Each structure stands twice: as C-alpha cells, then as structure tokens.
Amino acid sequence: MSRSIRRVVPALLSALLLAALLPPAALAEDSFYQPPDPLPAGAPGDLVRSRVSDNPPTRAKAKAWQVMYLSTNALGQRHAVTGTVLVPKDVDAKTAPVVGLAVGTHGPAFRCTPSRMIDVGALYEQPAVTDLLTRGYAVAITDYEGYRPEPRTTYTVGRSMGTAVLDVVRAALRLPGTGLSANAKVALRGYSQGGGAAMWAGELQPSYAPELNLVGVVGGGVPADLIQVALPLDGKRGYGLLATALMGLDRAYPELKLDDYLNDKGRSEYARMQREACTVELLTWYPNGRLADHTTTSPVLTPPWLARVRENKLGGNKIQVPVLQYHGDNDDLVYPPQAKELFAAYCRLGVNARWQGYPSDHITLVYTGNEAAHQFLADRFAGKPATSGC
C-alpha cells in the first residue's frame, strides 16, 4: 500500500465512523437550514443568509462560512440551498482561484447534510478539501437541494445538482468578508454523485452562469446514465443508493408518485432511510436489497420515470473548458461502461476531454484519484494548455 493510500484510508474510516456514531443531539435541528417563506427577491447565487462556521481539520488554515443562497431546481423554479465556503488565510484572496467542490453521497437524512459534517469534522472527502486549501484555492461546497429539518433531497438529479454547484460558487464570490474577486478563475470537481454534479455544472454553465471565469472541470466515478447505473445495483450492496435515487427523482418531479409503486414494507423502509440514513447506512442496511422486496410494481422502466431519467442523462451539451474524467475499472457501485460512453459523447461534441482509468474499486478511488485531479486543476489555473485524449 502506497504512502498516500495509508494516509487517506484512515481518514475515510474515521469520518464515516464519526458520522455514524454522532448522537442526534450533536446534530440537533438548526433553523439556519430552514428556508424563509416566501423567499427573498434576488438572482441565482444571491445570499439569503450566512454565518461564520468551523472546520476542525482546517480551522488553522482557512476562514469558513455556512451560507444559504438562491438557486434553481430541476423544474426551473427558485429555491434556497445551503453550503459551505472556505477561504485560505495565508493567500491574497483577491487573486485566489475558486474550486466548486461537489461532494459525493451523504444520504437523505438531515443529519447527513454535508456542511454539518464539515462543521463537526466528519466529511469523508476532507483530504481533498485540505489539499485544495493548502494549494491556495478557495473552496465552495454545496449541500445540494433539500437538506433541511424536513429533508427533501433530490439525490442524483443532475438538473438540480448542476445549478446548486454553480450557484454556491456565485454565493462565495458575493459573500461579504471573503475578499474573493468576481473575476476569479473557477474550476469544478467532484467524485461519484459529485462527479455527476460537476459535469452537470459544466454542461449548464455556458447558458446558466456565463459570467463565471470557468477554466476546467474534473469528474470521477461519474453516474452519467441513471438507468445503466441503477439497474446493476438491484440485489447488490448498492441497493440503498438505488432506493435513494428513486426518492430523489420523486421529490424533484412530483408527478412520478413513487408512493404508488411501494408496498407497505417499502413505505416503512424508505421513510426510515429519509429520517436516519447517511452513507454508512445506505451501504450496510440492505447488502442485497431488491426493488421487488419494497414495491408492488417497479417504477424504473415506466414511461414517466424514463422520461425524467433521460432529462438527467449527461452528454447532451458541450462543456466549453477542458475536462478530466476518471473512473475505476473495477467500480462496483457506478457501472464503468456508461462512464466511458459519456467520455465518447463529449469527444463527439468537441469537448477537450481526457480519460484516466484506474485498477480500482469505487470507494478507494475517492482518495487515490485526488492527485491527478489536483494536478489537472493546477495546470488550468496556471493557464497551461490542456491536451485532449479524444
């Protein structure tokens, strides 16, 4: 095992264990996360509220804020999203680049909110955050849609995740006290759910946030085609991810009516997931779960669901900046062939894209892919030309 792996794998285990063992009182309900009704006037990325925050692993390196900002959901409607902004203390903020970091799966329960995990030192992607800050980059991290005391998360819905990523970057640039420049160079990166979110943000940016000075996008373990990702998880250890994706689509698109497909056991278990499940629970509660155990009829291949899934398939729009896409050859949670199909689609669209494969499973690559991602970002911020792998 390499020195880098020995360094980061304990971080994963420690973060997941801490998140799983935190008593409910440690993550008591917090009114900061409840959006005001009605929402204030404003444009996407405008701040609703903010407060100084804490990030135990980096409190000596960075100033931190939790933010609530305006964004746009999958139906094009205004809503409010929360997140975290971190700015390194030892750099000139006016010249600091900004990374929109899209985190991976955290689970549907309110206690799993990424910014709350950051605040208690339980973010399993903390090594990536720390490395970005050490390199002198500000970091803007969205919680995605729906993390509030009565959670309605829209897990894997690209048209919601992409706007949330772009708007947390906007919020960081507009947040008083950061000192960041409105013209700062911006890059987007993420892994797993976050890889899909970063790619969605890249595809949406030219029309949705053209003012951002975007220079590069990195996505690892990307779930590009939800059908090809979801079906192999049925009956496998990733069933909890499949179930949460169904709940996410249902919340994003109310006409799907997931409850009509569930049996009594499914209603009970899916409600339990929404109340209690974070990453550990999603991967351990249902090691061989099956849709047939929780539904009277599977919704996955019905016309209404297929139509919404197709709307959230990556590869339909050109990303205008260089892209690095990486994936584990032995990925057991995000089907590798569909990721390679995304890369081929980007090449056909004329994207300056590069593919990097690893002899790795999904979870290990959360960490072992970081160095290549960081180098790609460093080159983009330095203005070096990117070599296409198409």
User: Do 245 and 115 reside in the same domain of the chain?
Assistant: no
Q: From 303, 333, 355, give the residue that closes a domain.
A: 303
User: Do 294 and 197 reside in the same domain of the chain?
Assistant: no
User: Do 318 and 278 reside in the same domain of the chain?
Assistant: no
* pLDDT band, residue 195 (cuts 50/70/90): very high
User: Do 321 and 252 reside in the same domain of the chain?
Assistant: no
Q: From 288, 303, 318, give the residue that closes a domain.
A: 303
Range of the domain at 133: 3-226+310-381
Residue 243 falls inside a structural domain: yes
Residue 255 falls inside a structural domain: yes
* pLDDT band, residue 340 (cuts 50/70/90): very high
| SS3 of the chain | CCHHHHHHHHHHHHHHHHHHHCCHHHHCCCHHHCCCCCCCCCCCCCEEEEEECCCHHHCCCEEEEEEEEEEECCCCCEEEEEEEEEEECCCCHHHCCEEEEECCCCCCCHHHCHHHHHHCCCCCCHHHHHHHHHCCCEEEEECCCCCCCCCCCCCCCHHHHHHHHHHHHHHHHHCCCCCCCCCCEEEEEEECHHHHHHHHHHHHHHHHCCCCEEEEEEEECCCCCHHHHHHHHCCCCCHHHHHHHHHHHHHHCHHHCHHHHECHHHHHHHHHHHHHCCHHHHHHCCCCCCHHHHECCCCCCCHHHHHHHHHCCCCCCCCCCCEEEEEECCCCCCCHHHHHHHHHHHHHHCCCEEEEEECCCCCCHHHHCHHHHHHHHHHHHCCCCCCCCC
* pLDDT band, residue 7 (cuts 50/70/90): very low
CATH of residue 68: 3.40.50.1820
* pLDDT band, residue 263 (cuts 50/70/90): very high
User: Do 330 and 296 reside in the same domain of the chain?
Assistant: no
Does the pLDDT value for residue 297 go beyond 50?
A: yes
Residue 179 falls inside a structural domain: yes
Confidence at residue 301, expressed as pLDDT on a 0 to 100 scale: 87
Confidence at residue 6, expressed as pLDDT on a 0 to 100 scale: 41
Residue 389 falls inside a structural domain: no
Residue 386 falls inside a structural domain: no
Q: Which range among 56-65, 133-142, 154-163 shows the weakest confidence by mean pLDDT?
A: 56-65
Q: From 252, 283, 303, give the residue that closes a domain.
A: 303
User: Do 84 and 212 reside in the same domain of the chain?
Assistant: yes
Does the pLDDT value for residue 47 go beyond 90?
A: yes
User: Do 293 and 326 reside in the same domain of the chain?
Assistant: no
Does the pLDDT value for residue 58 go beyond 90?
A: no
| Average confidence score pLDDT of the chain | 93
User: Do 125 and 263 reside in the same domain of the chain?
Assistant: no
User: Do 270 and 322 reside in the same domain of the chain?
Assistant: no
Residue 165 falls inside a structural domain: yes
User: Do 185 and 287 reside in the same domain of the chain?
Assistant: no
Residue 277 falls inside a structural domain: yes
Does the pLDDT value for residue 321 go beyond 70?
A: yes
User: Do 333 and 197 reside in the same domain of the chain?
Assistant: yes
Number of domains in the chain: 2
Residue 335 falls inside a structural domain: yes
* pLDDT band, residue 3 (cuts 50/70/90): very low
Confidence at residue 308, expressed as pLDDT on a 0 to 100 scale: 97
User: Do 296 and 327 reside in the same domain of the chain?
Assistant: no
